[in-house]
Amino acid sequence: MPTTTARIFNFSAGPAVLPVEVLEEAQQNLLSYPGVGMSILEMSHRSKTFDDIIQGCEADMRALANIPSNYKVLFLQGGASLQFSMVPMNLLPAGGSADYIITGAWSQKAAKEAKRVGAVKVAASTESENFTRVPKQNELKLDPNAAFVHMTSNNTIFGTEWQYLPDVGTVPLVSDTSSDMFSGPIDVANHALIYAGAQKNLAPAGVTIVIIREDMLQRSPASLPTMLNYTVHAENQSLYNTPPVFAIYIMRLVMTWLQKQGGLAAIDKVNRRKADKLYAEIDRTGYYRGHAQKDSRSRMNVTFRLSSEELEKKFAKEATTAGLDGLKGHRSVGGMRASIYNGFPESGIDALVDFMKEFERRNG
């Protein structure tokens, strides 16, 4: 049987590392879910057992993130990318326009899909600075009549993260939180809709979470294709069609794990400590250069460069050999990216810092 000691440190941006305890429990229950005599993989989504799983998952999410009772939690499919379309299809009325804050490749994609549905205004963009930061409040050109404002809370590719929630007045705020949902406390009440593809910080690929304020559901046009209509999913408790049962089961285990860690404030502390260690090493001598400006640094995706692409290739290759996998950055930024989500162990940060010191010593 494989043991956890055979696991390498996985810095992948997504699908990404899951807590070992979660994988072990899933492994233990894979052939026969306790008391049922069959695998969760083989079980009806209409069964009592699965109902307990999805209800328990939602209850834990509500408790962890203090989700107010006038918000629905939806378990959907199609990834965050389908939300790029579903958000404007449901929330952008004919003749209206939406504000998009462009902070990286994912916000660009979100805006591109929204333009297929209706009018889009760019409220701010940091593209001219190669997305090294997110905008400040006074840089946002917000339209008070916008149907909604769309932001990306953590920019997975560039390694930047909002350190504050923008004030958008009474306009509904929509946030793509695919790479930092549940990495720390969430101010749900100041959002109208929060969504995330789960495969970075919450679960394996296959499930997408949408937390939506109930009044937003009134906007969904009846003419929408059924599966693209938030109201249909809300009215059917996410069981209009077969949901991704296994991904939801794992997510349920991840939520239990998060509770055991002490909740979102506690995991936030750990995430900050992990990221701070890595940024401290990046800042130590100037040998490594962080991509993100200091006041926009992500706790989840740490991006940095070396002095040449050759050295970067060497770094990635030797790191992989040393059991530090997935550090090659996205092609649009270059360099390195260490994705260090909730499930990533602190010992892996220490191992990377040691490796960085040693690499600098040998190649400085």
Ligand X SMILES: *Cc1c(COP(=O)(O)O)cnc(C)c1O
Residue numbers annotated as active site: 106, 176, 200
Distance of alpha carbon 300 from alpha carbon 267, whole angstroms = 12
Nearer to ligand X, 179 or 231 (CB): 179
| Choices 64-72, 76-84, 320-328, 332-340; region in contact with ligand X by CB under 6 A | 76-84
Partners of residue 101 on adjacent β-strands: 124
| Choices 75-83, 113-121, 128-136, 222-230; region in contact with ligand X by CB under 6 A | 75-83
- Our finding on whether 204 is near ligand X (CB under 6 A) is no
Distance of alpha carbon 168 from alpha carbon 137, whole angstroms = 9
Per DSSP, the three-state class of 78 is coil
CA gyration radius, the chain: 21
Nearer to ligand X, 10 or 359 (CB): 10
Nearest-approach distance from CB 99 to ligand X, in angstroms: 18
- Our finding on whether 135 is near ligand X (CB under 6 A) is no
Per DSSP, the three-state class of 303 is strand
Nearest-approach distance from CB 307 to ligand X, in angstroms: 28
One character per residue 170-189, x = contact with ligand X (rule: CB under 6 A)? ------x-xx----------
Tokens of 360: 């600098």
Phi, psi of 102 (to 5 degrees): -100, 110
| Choices 45-53, 56-64, 74-82, 220-228; region in contact with ligand X by CB under 6 A | 74-82
Of the candidate residues 156, 201, 238, 296, the single one contacting ligand X (CB under 6 A): 156
Nearest-approach distance from CB 156 to ligand X, in angstroms: 3
Q: Which residues of 106-126 are buried (b: 16+ CB within 10 A; e: fewer)?
A: bbbebbebbeebbebeebbbb
- Our finding on whether 81 is near ligand X (CB under 6 A) is yes
Distance of alpha carbon 360 from alpha carbon 364, whole angstroms = 5
Binding residues (CB under 6 A) for ligand X: these are 14, 79-81, 106, 152, 156, 176, 178-179, 197, 200
